Amino acid sequence: MGPFVCVKRLCLDVFCHQSVPLYLSEMAPSRYRGAFNMGFQFCVGVGVLIANLLNYGTQKIHGGWGWRISLAMAAVPASILTLGALFLPETPNSLIQHNKDPDKAKKMLQKVRGTDDIQPEFNDLVTANEISKTIKHPFKNILRQKYRPQLVMAILIPFFQQVTGINVISFYAPILFRTIGFGESASLMSAVVTGSVGLSMTFLSLLIVDKVGRRTVFAIGGVQMFVSQILVGSIMAAKLGDHGGLSKGYGFLVLILICSYVAGFGLSWGPLGWLIPSEIFPLEIRSAGQSITVAVGFLFTFIVAQTFLAMLCHMKSGTFFFFGGWVAVMTVFVYFFLPETKNVPIETMDRIWKQHWFWKRYVGEEDDKDTNNNPIITECI
């Protein structure tokens, strides 16, 4: 059974988590791109909530075979996803990139934008496609200095998303709640509660991200997660000790703080961890960049999941201080090194790096070399 579950998760991460955010970012208008893309994370949250409800219900089945129902039910959304994909149109970017009829791409762009006035955006797509054709090896090309900011984000954003500790809550919420004194049934219900909170905040993020900007949402969520984790760690250190559980009052306080933490993640790093990578890569390295993002996320999901129980046993309350420290680091990183991408057309995203106080020294220097020496074509031919 184990290998089949691993294959399922691998297919989910490789195909869905890589293709869906990119598809949405390419199809959505720039002013609504954040909301459209976050719809993906919102739907993931709906699925997680339904799964938690199924787990809560099936664990009451006598005989110990309820888990089989939970596992088998995953085939339902997988079937819907597979059938739905058959009816999805190609994005205008894809139609141009694969040398199909430009008129068809233009009509598709007019259709998804709901207007005939798309010539400037269409010209940007054509220009980006012409540049991408000069790139023969995108994985090699992404290592160049001019793509340094995108490469750094492709690695650090999924890494940071995992070391928020969210998968600790997702995977081990029942175990964690039993550790602090909840029973089996109450532990599963607590996981349902936290899932509902996260889903609600993702919906809120969907509504505000294109208005207040990505950086602001990152900052709000980061501060909320940091404070919540430090308080949870402090309560567990002071009241839980090495053995036993918390009193009922402290147990519910921890549950509230964990809900606050999940709310912060659902507002910020949950949806934005997928949105930002899907919108920052130029067409010529987009496939390579998104592949790196998914691979790094999958790797650290595995590492965190495999090490958490050992961390909880040895570090106890220190586990929450550990993840809280990482939340502080990533919040500072976003403040200083991630430029605002709100309302920036996806094919002109390179401008934000040229204007950034830190990244312009990398992007600007190589752009000057490209202008004077034209190394791009000679390197890729």
DSSP string, 3-38: HHHHHHHHHIIIIIHHHHHHHHHHHS-GGGHHHHHH
**What pLDDT sits at residue 374?**
44
Cα distance between residue 372 and residue 374, in whole Å: 6
Residue 284 has pLDDT above 70, yes or no: yes
Q: Are 191 and 52 in contact (CB under 8 A)?
A: yes
pLDDT tens digits for range 214-264: 999 999 999 999 999 999 889 888 876 655 566 777 777 888 888 899 999
pLDDT at 70: 82
**pLDDT of the residue at 379:** 34
Separation between Cα atoms, residue 155 and residue 150, nearest integer Å? 9
In the numeric block, which tokens belong to residue 303? Answer: 């590492």
C-alpha distances in Å from residue 334, one per residue of 75, 128, 367: 38, 27, 25
The Cα–Cα gap between 309 and 158 comes to 21
Q: What is the DSSP string of 185-248?
A: HHHHHHHHHHHHHHHHHHHHHHHHHHHH-HHHHHHHHHHHHHHHHHHHHHHIIIII-SSS---H
Q: How confident is the model at residue 8 (pLDDT cuts 50, 70, 90)?
A: low
Structure-block tokens of residue 335: 């403040």
Buried b (16+ CB within 10 A) or exposed e, 288-325: bbbbbbbbbbbebbeebeeebeebbeeebbebbbebbe
User: Whole-angstrom Cα distance, residue 337 to residue 227?
Assistant: 22
Domain that holds residue 217: 2-88+135-363
Q: With 90 as the cut, is the pLDDT of residue 1 above it?
A: no
Residue 333 clears pLDDT 90, i.e. is over it: yes
> For residue 51, is pLDDT > 50?
yes
pLDDT tens-digit map of 157-191: 999 999 998 877 766 666 666 665 566 666 667 77
Three-state DSSP state, 368? helix
Average pLDDT over residues 314-326: 88
Q: What percentage of the chain has pLDDT greater than the value 90?
A: 31
**Of 217, 157, 200, which Cα lies nearest the Cα of 342?**
217
What value does the mean pLDDT of the chain take?
A: 83
Q: Is pLDDT above 80 for 111?
A: yes
What whole-number distance in Å separates Cα of residue 363 and Cα of residue 361? 6
For residue 255, being part of any structural domain is answered with yes
146, 24, 296, 323: CA torsion to nearest 10:
110
Mean pLDDT for 33-61 is 84
pLDDT band of residue 380 (cuts 50, 70, 90) is very low
Q: Which of 189-198, 211-220, 286-295, 366-375 has the lowest mean pLDDT?
A: 366-375
Of 67, 29, 37, 18, the residue nearest 290 (C-alpha):
18
pLDDT score at 100: 64
pLDDT at 369 over 70: no
Which residue has 């890729």 as its token pair?
A: 380
Tell whether 263 is covered by a domain: yes
In a domain, 99, yes or no: no
pLDDT score for 157: 96
In this prediction, residues 260-282 reach a mean pLDDT of 93
pLDDT band at 325 (very low <50, low <70, confident <90, very high): very high
What number is the average pLDDT over the span 204-209? 94
Task: Give the residue with greater pLDDT, 115 vs 63.
Answer: 115
- Whether the pLDDT of residue 373 is over 60: the answer is no
What would you measure as the largest C-alpha separation in the chain, in angstroms? Answer: 74
The answer to whether position 231 is within a domain reads: yes
- Are the C-beta atoms of residues 226 and 328 closer than 8 Å to each other? yes
What confidence tier does 371 reach under pLDDT thresholds 50, 70, 90?
very low
**pLDDT for the residue 255:** 80
Paired tokens of 128? 């980006």
Is residue 270 one of the residues assigned to a domain? yes
220: domain CATH number? Answer: 1.20.1250.20
Count how many domains the chain has.
1
Task: Specify the pLDDT at position 187.
Answer: 61
Residue 125 lies in a domain: no
Length of the chain: 381
d(CA 317, CA 315): 6
Query: Residue 308 domain-assigned?
Result: yes
Q: What average pLDDT score do residues 360-364 get?
A: 86
What single-letter amino acid sits at 87?
F
In this prediction, residue 375 has a pLDDT band, given cuts at 50, 70 and 90, of very low
Task: Examine residue 223 and state whether it is found in any structural domain, yes or no.
Answer: yes
Average pLDDT over residues 190-200: 83
Query: Radius of gyration over alpha carbons of the chain, in Å?
Result: 23
Of 48-62, 307-321, 365-379, the one with minimum mean pLDDT is 365-379
pLDDT digits (tens, 9 = 90+) for 351-360: 999 999 999 9
